[in-house]
């Protein structure tokens, strides 16, 4: 039997498509409303992307306060005669004058923290004026201790493994991208992770392809003098260049780093391991 001519094929296909559309419409309108809703909802679920709404965080609800201060105004006598426990303390002339003027004075103490002083006052029956900053400070001490333990026992090892993996993968990418337009970007990645790795672990071997730039970067980090052009971040470029813009020629500055930030501080200056961890994390 001879094949239908092309024009006849078009009519056959058009007829089939028309029949499908008619059947679909008939099914939709014949179905009860519940069935239509199911079809509509299914279509919405397929084609409408899910929307995530952020929940409220730390909502503050104001608490009404109906209190009128009733403490009468007072002043400190020049000879401190109305300070009941003045004899328990020794004041310099300057401290005494400030106490009379401001009704309080701050003196240096041999205590390193608030709580030993509070405990001493409790035994000597000396009233303590406890300020909110002392409570926040104690919370900070607790947090700092927990963070230090976590970094020493867990995170430092995780960072060491991360550095090794990223440096290895960056080298693999560089080798596979040599000769392409991405070669320099891959080389910069190698240098970037080589610096982070070397800062944490001095035994890491710096890949020869970035040894010059990485050693320059490490020297700047150790000197921590201030903002300088980064040898590693500017691999393949790094010099201030002029580019054409709609506003005319503009200077495109090299990427810079603030090396003064690499001075370990807080609990990070307690051990050599924490110093290394601090510098590596600061680099990232």
Residue 1, pLDDT score: 46
Same domain, 125 and 160: no
- Is residue 19 a part of any domain in this protein? no
Same domain, 112 and 207: no
Same domain, 230 and 124: no
- Is residue 267 a part of any domain in this protein? yes
Residues in Cβ contact with 172 at an 8 Å cutoff, skipping those fewer than 6 apart: none
Same domain, 273 and 150: yes
3-state secondary structure of 83: coil
Same domain, 106 and 214: no
- Is residue 38 a part of any domain in this protein? no
**Cα 105 to Cα 97: distance, rounded to the nearest angstrom:** 9
Report which DSSP code applies to 151. I
Same domain, 117 and 239: no
Same domain, 267 and 196: yes
Q: List pLDDT tens digits, range 180-207.
A: 999 999 999 999 999 999 999 999 999 9
Same domain, 117 and 170: no
pLDDT band at residue 131 using 50, 70 and 90 as cut-offs: confident
Two tokens, residue 258: 């603030």
**Cα 31 to Cα 39: distance, rounded to the nearest angstrom:** 10
- Is residue 107 a part of any domain in this protein? yes
Cβ-contact 74, 102 below 8 angstroms: no
Q: List pLDDT tens digits, range 262-272.
A: 999 999 999 99
Report the pLDDT averaged over residues 202-228. 95
Is the pLDDT reported for residue 37 higher than 50?
Answer: yes
Residue 115, pLDDT score: 86
> What are residue 227's DSSP bridge partners?
258
pTM of the entire predicted model:
0.62
Report the pLDDT averaged over residues 105-125. 89
More confident residue, 192 or 25: 192
Q: What range does the domain containing 95 cover?
A: 86-129
Alpha-carbon distances of 14 from 6, 11, 55, 140, 145, rounded to whole Å: 12, 5, 52, 75, 76
Q: What is the mean pLDDT of the chain?
A: 84
Same domain, 98 and 186: no
Alpha-carbon distances of 161 from 147, 167, 217, rounded to whole Å: 19, 10, 22
Our count of domains for the chain comes to 2
pLDDT band at residue 73 using 50, 70 and 90 as cut-offs: confident
Same domain, 206 and 104: no
Provide the b/e sequence for 242-279 (b: ≥16 CB within 10 Å): eeeeeeeeeeeeeeebebeebebeebbeeeeebbbbbb
Could you give phi then psi for residue 237, rounded to 5 degrees? -160, -120
3-state secondary structure 244-260: EECCEEEEECCCEEEHH
**Cα 119 to Cα 124: distance, rounded to the nearest angstrom:** 9
**Cα 162 to Cα 156: distance, rounded to the nearest angstrom:** 10
State the first-to-last Cα distance of the chain, in angstroms, to the nearest integer. Answer: 75
Boundary (domain end) residue, out of 129, 159, 187: 129
DSSP string, 269-284: GSSHHHHHHHHHHHH-
Same domain, 91 and 160: no
Same domain, 180 and 154: yes
């Amino acid at each position: 039997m001879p094949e239908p001519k092309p024009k006849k094929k078009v009519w056959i296909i058009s007829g089939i498509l028309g029949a499908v559309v008619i059947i679909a419409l008939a099914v939709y309108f014949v179905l009860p409303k519940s069935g239509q809703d199911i079809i509509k909802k299914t279509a919405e679920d397929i084609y409408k992307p899910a929307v995530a709404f952020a929940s409220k965080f730390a909502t503050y609800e104001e608490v009404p306060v109906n209190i009128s201060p009733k403490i009468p105004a007072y002043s400190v006598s020049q000879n401190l005669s109305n300070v009941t426990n003045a004899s328990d303390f020794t004041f310099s002339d300057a401290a005494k004058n400030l106490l009379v003027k401001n009704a309080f004075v701050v003196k240096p103490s041999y205590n390193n923290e608030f709580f030993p002083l509070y405990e001493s006052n409790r035994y000597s029956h000396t009233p303590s004026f406890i300020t909110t900053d002392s409570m926040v400070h104690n919370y900070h001490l607790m947090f700092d201790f927990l963070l230090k333990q976590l970094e020493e026992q867990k995170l430092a090892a995780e960072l060491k493994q991360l550095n090794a993996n990223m440096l290895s993968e960056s080298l693999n990418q560089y080798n596979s991208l040599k000769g392409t337009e991405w070669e320099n970007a891959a080389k910069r990645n190698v240098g970037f992770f080589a610096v982070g790795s070397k800062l944490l672990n001095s035994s890491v071997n710096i890949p020869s392809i970035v040894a010059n730039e990485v050693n320059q970067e490490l020297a700047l980090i150790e000197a921590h003098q201030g903002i300088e052009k980064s040898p590693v971040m500017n691999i393949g470029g790094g010099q201030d260049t002029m580019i054409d813009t709609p506003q005319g020629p503009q200077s495109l500055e090299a990427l810079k780093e603030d090396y003064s930030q690499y001075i370990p501080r807080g609990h990070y200056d307690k051990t050599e391991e924490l110093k290394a961890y601090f510098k590596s994390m600061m680099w990232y």
